[in-house]
Structure 1
Amino acid sequence: MKKFTLGKSRDHLFELVPEGRIKKMKIGTKTLGLVRRGSECFVFDAFCPHRGALLTEGQVNDRNEISCPLHQYRFELKTGKVKVGYCGDLETYPAILTEAGLEITMP
């Protein structure tokens, strides 16, 4: 497991990732999506497991689910479980907001 830190502090991360906005980022060769809801952050594979559409162009609802812009499949941001649609679950990554920034754990 590898850990990466995004931002220089908690406040810096809040500046980098506005509330409810979906951000696209790269860690190594992985393209990831990031959403912040208050002090909780969700990091996930940026591509839909169904047809590979870019989830960072999707929408996040009030149940913390992201919807795919291609077929409106929905995935729970915390676990990656598919909630609407017929495909595998979305890969998610542990992310903890600390005073030093957002700590993301990658396999």
Structure 2
Amino acid sequence: MQWIKIFDSEAQAKKQIPVTKSTAVVAAGKEICIAHTPTGLFAVENLCPHLGDALSRGTTNYLNEIICPWHSYRFHLISGEECRGRTRPLERFPLEVREDGVYVQVPD
């Protein structure tokens, strides 16, 4: 596993990704969705396991869920589970805020 810097600071990340929004980043060749909720920032796989739409095009809610823009499947950003168990959980990636930036951990 390796840690990849994706933002220069937490403030920069939160400015680029407002609360309830998300964006896609590429780290070590893997596309990852960075989602922002009132609780903070989360990193999950970008493609919805249901039918493959980009979760980074979706929104988040106060329950720490990301909502797929295509069929409104809701995935909990902490557990990765879909709220009704209709598809496999999301792959989640550890995210760390450090003095010199925001990092995500991805497989080698």
- TM-score tier, shorter chain, comes to 0.7 to 0.9
How many angstroms does 1:36 deviate by? 2.4
Name the residue aligned to 1:43: 43
Q: CA RMSD in A?
A: 1.8
Range that drifts further, 44-53 or 20-29 = 20-29
Per-residue deviation, 1:85: 5.0
Per the alignment, in what secondary structure is the counterpart of residue 51 of structure 1?
coil
Which secondary structure does the structure 2 equivalent of 1:15 belong to?
A: helix
**How is 1:67-106 mapped onto 2 (pairs within 5 angstroms)?**
67-106=67-106
User: 4+ residue runs of structure 1 moved beyond 6 angstroms?
Assistant: none
Answer whether contact 1:75 1:84 (CA < 8 A) is retained: no
Do 1:7 and 1:16's aligned partners in 2 also have CA atoms closer than 8 Å?
no
Q: Is the 8 A contact 2:19 2:36 kept in 1?
A: yes
Query: What's the TM-score, normalizing by structure 2?
Result: 0.85
Aligned 8 A contact 2:48 2:54 in 1: yes
The 5-angstrom pairing of residues 13-32 of structure 1 reads 13-32=13-32
The one-letter code sitting in structure 1 at the alignment partner of 2:69 is: P
**Most deviating of 47-56 and 34-43:** 34-43
Which 5+ residue runs of structure 1 have no aligned equivalent? none
Distance 1:45 1:33 in 2: 6
Instruction: Give, as a single letter, the amino acid of the residue that structure 2 aligns with 1:17.
Output: I
Cα drift, residue 88 of structure 1: 0.4
**Cα deviation digits, residues 52-80 of structure 1 (max 9, x gap):** 11111222111011111222111001121
Q: Distance in 1 between matches of 2:8 and 2:20?
A: 20
> How far apart, CA to CA, are the structure 2 residues paired with 1:37 and 1:93?
16
Identity between Structure 1 and Structure 2 (%): 28
Unaligned runs of 5+ in 2: none
1:3 aligns with 3
What is the CA–CA distance in structure 1 between the aligned matches of 2:9 and 2:68, rounded to whole Å?
Answer: 31
